Amino acid sequence: MSTFSEDYRSTRKYMQPGTRRLASHSKKKVAYFHDEGVGNYHYGERHPMKPHRLTLTNHLVLKYGLHEKMEIFQPRRATDSEIRNFHSEDYVDFLKKVTPDNADEYENLFQRFNVGDDCPIFDGIYDFCQRYAGATIEASRKYFPRVLYIDIDIHHGDGVQEAFYSTDRVMTVSLHKYNGDFFPATGHIDEIGSSLGKYYSVNVPLRDGIDDDAYVWLFKEVIDAVIGTYQPSAIVLQCGADSLGCDRLGCFNLSIRAHGRCVQLVKNFNIPLLVVGGGGYTVRNVARCWTYETSVLVDTELSENLPPNEYRDFFKPDYKLHPDLKGRVENQNDRTYLLKVRERVMEQLRYLDAAPSIQMQEIPPDIQGFLDGEEEQRDAEEDSEIGKDTRSFRRKSIIHENEWYSDEDDNDDSDDGWNGMNIDDDD
């Protein structure tokens, strides 16, 4: 039985899916960012995050034939200077030099740079960072005046919130477990932003064991209200799979279908959408979840029976796309609590009387210069012979379908990873 009936639904009127956004004649395109080899990294035997989950996901996507419905891209690696645009030079130099073998020599910097434990030193760490940063940069080439970031990872989206805490150009919404102690111990409902960003950080703290009906109801209530108020130009949706039931580190009771329902609800608004990954520590369910959500994004029904693939043993004994993940943890989110959380969010949004104008906050000079420089470079390329080569290189960054392996033997020795929809390992 549903936790909520129509009697408890908000009577406020918000923008409904499809009333604004891409023109009806616009052709919807789905791009799949796939970084070959990203699943080969290993954080250490005792670390719960397993990049191999990206490989499992990619193989399921291929075996279901979902790649045939998407444009496939190989993201480039970020340069040192690009990484230094956001991170300090000392931090970048540290990542370039440190290895598991010489880690003792840099131990005095561990606390300063917050490495160790959940952020371990592993072989190829800087190369790994270049891959992920490069994919992020490739995903942010087009400028949008207002961006909404939504996080359904079980852990609070603390890093993104901190990065945009004092700006109104990015609004963050995080649904997560919060009790003051659960990692990263941030995400209280009173964390609402500061300065120009005051009220633009929305936190939805949840208790253990939330189920499908309650989660999807609250998600829809909050996201409908946020989108109707903020009217974003683009949305970034972080789909951490540790909010699924039976996750090694999680404590919710969400099914894969409910998790995917959140993706569908956001997709229905027809706003330019970037879907990325996040946490997820039961690798077989991460792969199932992200494959299913890829199918949601390309409007394709998938068979409940997983297709034959070289990683089939990971999915035994049932070999199903939607295993039963509910009932592990008692639901401590009663109706009274969830209604209170919803009302607090609505109260916060009332301070944003109308959608902010496009000229909310001046674009930082360094970003504006970067954007202007990109445009000038492209203009120059169009007028020069060298432009022919550059445009040719850009076209080659698209991986054509005939470059994908077509049978099980073609990929025996490779370990293709997944940056699907730019899915990554960030919590």
- Residue 155 marked as a ligand binder: yes
- Residue 153 marked as a ligand binder: yes
- Residue 42 marked as a ligand binder: no
Pick the closest to residue 184 from 209, 138, 153 (CA basis): 153
Give a three-class secondary structure readout of the chain: CCCCCHHHCCCCCCCCCCCCCCCCCCCCCCEEECCCCHHHCCCCCCCCCCCHHHHHHHHHHHHCCHHHHCEEECCCCCCHHHHHCCCCHHHHHHHHHCCCCCHHHHHHHHHHHCCECCECCCCCHHHHHHHHHHHHHHHCCCCCCCEEEEECCCCCCHHHHHHCCCCCCEEEEEEEECCCCCCCCCCCCCCCCCHHHCCCEEEEEECCCCCHHHHHHHHHHHHHHHHHHHCCCEEEEECCHHHECCCCCCCCCECHHHHHHHHHHHHCCCCCEEEECCCCCCHHHHHHHHHHHHHHHCCCCCCCECCCCCCHHHHCCCCECCCCCCCCCCCCCCHHHHHHHHHHHHHHHCCCCCCCCCCCCCCCHHHHHHHHHHHHHHHHHHCCCHHHHHHHHHHHCEECHHHCCCCHHHHCCCCCCCCHHHCCCCC
**Annotated binding-site residue numbers:** 153, 155, 242
**Annotated binding-site residue numbers for a divalent metal cation:** 153, 155, 242
